[in-house]
Amino acid sequence: MKKVNYSYDKITQLIKDNAHKINNYNPDYIIAIGGGGLIPARLIRNYVKKPLYVVTLSLYDDDKIKDTVEIIQWIDNDLSEKKIMIVDEVDDTRKTLDFCIKRFKLINNAKNIGIFVLQNKIKEKLGQLDDDIKYISCENVQDDWIVYPWDL
Ligand code: G4P
Ligand code: MG
């Protein structure tokens, strides 16, 4: 798979250029999906002054296929009256994101959900986003392997 390297400068610029879209959505909370969403969410907070929460998920291998989502940490806030913006680094298969959205609805009673990702990979997705979900991606990219500065 072709690799594409991203620098911190490139990432911070993408966030700087797109943070106004989050402010326009005006969420009550930013929720990072760890680990990939942690650094983007922290950088977003330079421009979006909202409380930052974290949930952590991991995809693990079942029969050598990464197909089971493991919850490392979740929050127990009632989000029924809150607007949330979920932050992750990449929308790849959408499996993790889809799982996350379903769980925020089920466990936290979330009704107003937005998604922010740095890169959306142009490919067939495993999960589908409902129409009522606000979706922001900084850029649409080919299905290459992105090497983030925090991967190095
Ligand atoms: P999605 O819902 O966000 O599309 O995620 P998906 O389940 O498809 O992604 C599986 C894992 O692969 C995720 O890591 C995701 O961050 C990672 N991933 C997918 N494409 C790339 C890429 O191009 N570059 C890098 N560096 N990672 C990619 P995870 O299980 O959530 O682990 P973590 O790193 O967030 O802890
Ligand atoms: Mg992740």
pLDDT digits (tens, 9 = 90+) for 17-61: 999 999 999 999 999 999 999 999 999 999 999 999 999 998 877
Dihedral angle over CA of 151, 37, 92, 1, nearest 10: -10
Whole-number Å distance between alpha carbons of 129 and 134: 9
Catalytic residue among 17, 63, 92, 143: 92
What are 59's two structure tokens? 């995809």
Start-to-end C-alpha separation, the chain: 17
Q: Which residues of 96-106 are buried (b: 16+ CB within 10 A; e: fewer)?
A: bbbbbbebbee
Whole-number Å distance between alpha carbons of 83 and 62: 34
Report pLDDT for 13: 98
How many A from CA of 41 to the centre of ligand 1?
A: 15
How many A from CA of 88 to the centre of ligand 2?
A: 6
* Average pLDDT by stretches of 10, the chain with 152 residues: 97 98 98 97 98 93 76 97 98 94 97 98 93 97 98 94
Q: Which ligand is nearest to the CA of 97?
A: 1
61 in catalytic set: no
> In the chain, what is the greatest distance between 2 CA atoms, to the nearest angstrom?
43
Decide whether any atom of ligand 1 lies within 6 Å of the 94 Cβ.
yes
Q: Which ligand is nearest to the CA of 95?
A: 1
How many A from CA of 68 to the centre of ligand 2?
A: 13
Closest atom, ligand 1, to C-alpha of 151: 26
